[in-house]
Amino acid sequence: MIHFILGGAKSGKSQYAEIQMKQYVQPWIYLATGRAWDDEMKQKIQHHQERRGTGWITVEEPIQIADYLKQPNHAPILIDCLTLWLTNLMMDERDIEQETIQLVDALQSYGGDIFIVSNEVGQGIVPVEPMARAFRNYAGILHQKIASIAEDFTFIVAGYPMKIKSQERDI
């Protein structure tokens, strides 16, 4: 099952995803897409690692998420986060559309549960810089594709989860 968790910066989405993962037996796989470009990012990565504590296997994969998901594994995975992955693709001048297609296909064929965290970036002002506008547009399209295949979709606002879509149905 695909669980999509979207929210703004510092909204609590990663911590929410980590709590959801803890319903599964250890070890939990944390697929980290972030690159430590600067001191701020290094500190953020360290904070996330310390908060998670023990029981986690961290796999650092800034680009090849789809390839990792194609491995014969059915363990639950937390992917954190798609907007950092998108940043990496843009910085490496990759084909965003092709990479997105490969990711969506790999997510749909993975045998275990996947929790996907991403930042909502399209609710603010229109960015001035062309690259920032391209990023916002790519992120919006990526999020639409992930939301369409996810069985569960939660939007996090100020630490509070709002269910947008759920496999559980009221009868």
Specify the number of domains making up the chain: 1
Percentage of residues in the chain with pLDDT exceeding 70? 96
Active site residue 47: no
Summarised one tens digit per residue, pLDDT across range 94-135 is 999 999 999 999 999 999 999 999 999 988 888 899 999 999
Q: SS3 for 4?
A: strand
The mean pLDDT of the chain is: 91
pLDDT grade for 168, boundaries at 50, 70 and 90: low
Give domain status of residue 66, yes or no: yes
| Contact indicator for 77, 29 with CB cutoff of 8 Å | yes
Nearest to 48 by CA among 31, 63, 61: 31
In this prediction the pTM is 0.90
Q: Binding site: which residues?
A: 7-14, 32-34, 60, 80
The verdict on residue 103 lying in a domain is yes
Domain holding 50, by residue range, is: 2-114+126-159
Tokens of 122: 């399209």
Catalytic residue among 3, 47, 48, 74: 48
| Beta strands 114-119; 77-80: pairing state | parallel
For the domain that residue 13 is a member of, what is the CATH number? 3.40.50.300
Domain assignment present for 171: no
Q: Which residues are annotated as a binding site for GTP?
A: 7-14, 32-34, 60, 80
Q: Tell me if 57 is assigned to some domain.
A: yes
